[in-house]
């Protein structure tokens, strides 16, 4: 056993055993990276514990819940790839995509491959690979067979604790997460990629304003805001749910589909309350991030004082707007009840906010599909190329393929063409749930 330095109250400890029947290595409270970075090799964030057997590497959060796994067998697709279990209890396979344009397409070096239908244009079906399917299904069986004797007490206790976090228990915990806010996060903002989608979801509102015909993530709820009491209750319950692992979080997502349409006082008070309650000032992870969705109406209605106040909060804030198209015939085709003029006004204001406030980035979504008229792409070009005369470092444009489960070479080709002409950082929007 090796004793390592103690930080943040978590003592790093490691233990190895090697005998004929079982090779085992345990590292408790590893200190991963404390700042989200974009690099082309696997980085693990936060404080976590690692268990390595002859065949597998498993990682667990501070609540003893599995969060990453990979196989060491030769049949594993790639040594730098792994699976991650999300807070909503989905397994996601992180692939390098063979480094074939994943970073250019997504702004990240790793491509999340999901187990449910989405609008991804890249990647394959890794969960159909035996080795990946096997580890996602049977990880608990593997750790259930581990010995918990013949080692110092802290290690045997830790093994017992990870064994107790069974798939059934983790599934129930995910269910509890959805119950706290009253629904599952069916779509995360694309900007959540900056924190590897490790967000705390807090609903200050429900529903959205437009109920666009094309949208696959909407619900039937008319837009409404939550009461302060309801928000406080969610904060308390989320804190209990995250428990010891709270220290690994530094990002808040204000839900649901148009949090920006809530009253500005409610937004600002909630941000401050969440910052205090989730103890973001003492998070292991550096910097704090805030994500929310907005709509053309809520964004145009938001005043300068609101953005000024937001800019002074201890967060890097990302607000994602679904503009979809700057072409009236396409807006009508999509069933988005907006005019081209409103979209143009919103885009103009986006530039002002992005140029004025260093801690705020407004990002915009536009749709892509082979079936859309040329006028959609021509109008898009006037916004993302002709409206500015130089390359902009912020104000990401996300292009979102309309169809789910339908990767198309043509749409991917169109994306790269648009990206090469855009004067804004331009990426694909991969729709993911939490
Ligand atoms: S695109 Fe946005 S506003 Fe339109 S239905 Fe979907 S969630 Fe609602």
**Tens digits of residue pLDDT in 109-155:** 899 999 998 888 887 889 999 999 999 999 999 999 998 888 999 99
Could you tell me if 206 and 255 lie in one domain?
yes
pLDDT score of 42: 84
Give domain status of residue 417, yes or no: yes
Same domain for 197 and 143: no
| 405 pLDDT more than 80 | yes
Domain-ending residue, one of 166, 200, 218: 166
- Report pTM: 0.94
Residue that finishes a domain, picked among 116, 138, 166:
166
Q: Do 151 and 281 share a structural domain?
A: no
Residue 263: both structure tokens together = 């009253």
Same domain, residue pair 272 and 144: no
Q: For residue 215, how far is its CA from the centre of ligand 1 (angstroms)?
A: 6
- The minimum-distance atom of ligand 1 relative to the CA of 210 is 3
In a shared domain, residues 162 and 220 = no
Q: Is residue 227 part of a domain?
A: yes
Look up residue 119 and give its two tokens: 């609008």
Q: Does residue 242 form part of some domain?
A: yes
The pLDDT value recorded for residue 5 is 47
Residue 434 counted as domain residue: no
Q: How far is the CA of 155 from the CAs of 23, 28, 45, 347, in angstroms?
A: 15, 8, 22, 55
For residue 172, is it within any domain? no
Q: Which of 166, 192, 222 is the last residue of a domain?
A: 166
Q: Report the number of distinct structural domains present in the chain.
A: 2
Q: How far is CA 255 from CA 272, 303, 314, 320, in A?
A: 16, 20, 19, 12
Of all protein residues, the one whose alpha carbon is nearest to atom 4 of ligand 1 is 212
Ligand 1 centroid distance, CA of 320 (Å): 12
Task: Give which of 298, 299, 226, 330 is closest to 269, Cα–Cα.
Answer: 226
Instruction: Specify the residue with its C-alpha closest to ligand 1, atom 7.
Output: 218
Q: Are 59 and 68 in contact (CB under 8 A)?
A: yes
DSSP state string for 234-276: HHHHHHHHHGGGGGG--EEEEESS-GGGS-HHHHHHHHHHHHH
Answer yes or no: do 188 and 158 share one domain: no
Same domain, 400 and 281: yes
How far is ligand 1, taken at its centre, from the CA of residue 324, in Å?
10
Does 175 map to a domain?
Answer: no
Q: What is the pLDDT of residues 228-265, one digit of tens each?
A: 999 999 999 999 999 999 999 999 999 999 999 999 99
How far is the centre of ligand 1, averaged over its atoms, from the C-alpha of 216 (Å)? 8
Structural domain harbouring 50: 2-166
In a domain, 72, yes or no: yes
- Output the domain CATH number for residue 189: 3.80.30.20
Ligand 1, residues 187, 217, 256: which to mutate, most atoms within 8 A of Cβ? 217
Examine the domain organization and report whether 315 and 420 are in the same domain: yes
Q: Which residue has the higher pLDDT, 103 or 346?
A: 346
Q: How far is Cα of residue 251 from the mean position of the Cα atoms in its chain?
A: 10
pLDDT at 6 over 50: no
Q: Ligand 1: which residues within 6 Å by Cβ? A: 208-212, 215, 217-218, 257, 295, 322
Residue range 157-176, pLDDT digits in tens = 999 999 999 999 999 999 99
Helix or strand run (H / E) with residue 309: helix 304-312
User: Helix %, strand %, coil % for the chain, to 5?
Assistant: 40, 25, 40
Beta bridge pairs of residue 13: 3, 28
Q: Whose Cα sits closest to atom 5 in ligand 1? A: 211
Return the SS3 of 406: coil
The pick from 203, 215, 342 for probing ligand 1's pocket by mutation, whose C-beta has the most ligand atoms within 8 angstroms, reads: 215
- Higher-scoring residue by pLDDT: 98, 250: 250
**152, 217: one domain:** no
Whether residue 361 lies inside any domain: the answer is: yes
Which residue owns the Cα nearest ligand 1 atom 3? 210
* Residue 209 Cα: closest atom of ligand 1: 3
- Tell me the best of 185, 190, 208 to mutate to test the pocket of ligand 1, counting ligand atoms within 8 Å of each CB and taking the most: 208
Instruction: Give the position, in ligand 1's atom list, of the atom nearest the Cα of 187.
Output: 7
Same domain, 91 and 188: no
The whole-chain average pLDDT of the chain stands at: 94
pLDDT at 22 over 90: no
Same domain, 152 and 270: no
Are residues 105 and 10 part of one domain? yes
pLDDT score of 99: 53
For ligand 1, atom 1, the nearest C-alpha belongs to: 215
* 386 secondary structure, DSSP code: I
């Amino acid at each position: 056993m090796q004793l390592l330095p103690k930080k943040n109250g978590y003592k790093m400890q490691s233990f190895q055993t090697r005998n004929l029947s079982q090779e085992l290595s345990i590292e408790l409270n590893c200190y991963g990276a404390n700042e989200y970075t974009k690099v082309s090799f696997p980085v693990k964030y936060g404080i976590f514990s690692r268990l390595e057997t002859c065949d597998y590497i498993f990682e667990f959060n501070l609540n003893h819940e599995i969060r990453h796994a990979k196989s060491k067998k030769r049949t594993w697709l790639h040594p730098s790839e792994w699976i991650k279990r999300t807070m909503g209890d989905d397994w996601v396979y992180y692939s390098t995509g063979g480094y074939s344009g994943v970073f250019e397409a997504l702004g990240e070096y790793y491509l999340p491959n999901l187990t449910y239908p989405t609008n991804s244009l890249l990647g394959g079906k890794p969960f159909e690979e035996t080795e990946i399917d096997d580890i996602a299904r049977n990880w608990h069986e593997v750790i259930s067979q581990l010995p918990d004797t013949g080692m110092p007490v802290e290690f045997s206790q830790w093994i017992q604790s990870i064994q107790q976090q069974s798939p059934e228990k983790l599934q129930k915990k995910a269910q509890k997460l959805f119950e706290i806010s009253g629904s599952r996060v069916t779509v995360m903002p694309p900007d959540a990629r900056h924190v590897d989608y490790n967000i705390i979801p807090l609903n200050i509102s429900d529903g959205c304003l437009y109920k666009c015909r094309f949208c696959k993530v909407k619900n039937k709820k008319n837009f409404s805001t939550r009461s302060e009491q309801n928000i406080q209750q969610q904060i308390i319950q989320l804190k209990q749910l995250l428990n010891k692992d709270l220290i690994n979080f530094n990002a808040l997502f204000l839900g649901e589909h148009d949090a920006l349409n809530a009253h500005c006082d409610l937004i600002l008070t909630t941000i401050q309350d969440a910052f205090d309650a989730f103890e973001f000032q003492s998070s292991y992870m550096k910097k704090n991030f805030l994500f929310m969705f907005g709509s053309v109406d809520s964004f145009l209605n938001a005043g300068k004082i609101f953005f000024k106040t937001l800019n002074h909060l201890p967060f890097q804030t990302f607000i994602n707007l679904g503009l979809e198209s700057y072409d009236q015939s396409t807006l009508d085709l999509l069933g988005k009840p907006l005019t081209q003029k409103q979209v143009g006004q919103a885009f103009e204001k986006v530039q002002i906010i992005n140029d004025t406030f260093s801690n705020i980035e407004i990002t915009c979504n536009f749709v892509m599909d082979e079936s859309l008229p040329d006028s959609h792409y021509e109008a898009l070009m006037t916004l993302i190329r002709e409206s500015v005369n130089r390359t902009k470092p912020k104000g990401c444009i996300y292009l979102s393929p309309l169809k789910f489960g339908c990767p198309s070479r043509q749409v991917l080709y169109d994306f790269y063409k648009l990206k090469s002409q855009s004067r804004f950082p331009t990426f694909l929007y991969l729709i993911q749930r939490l």
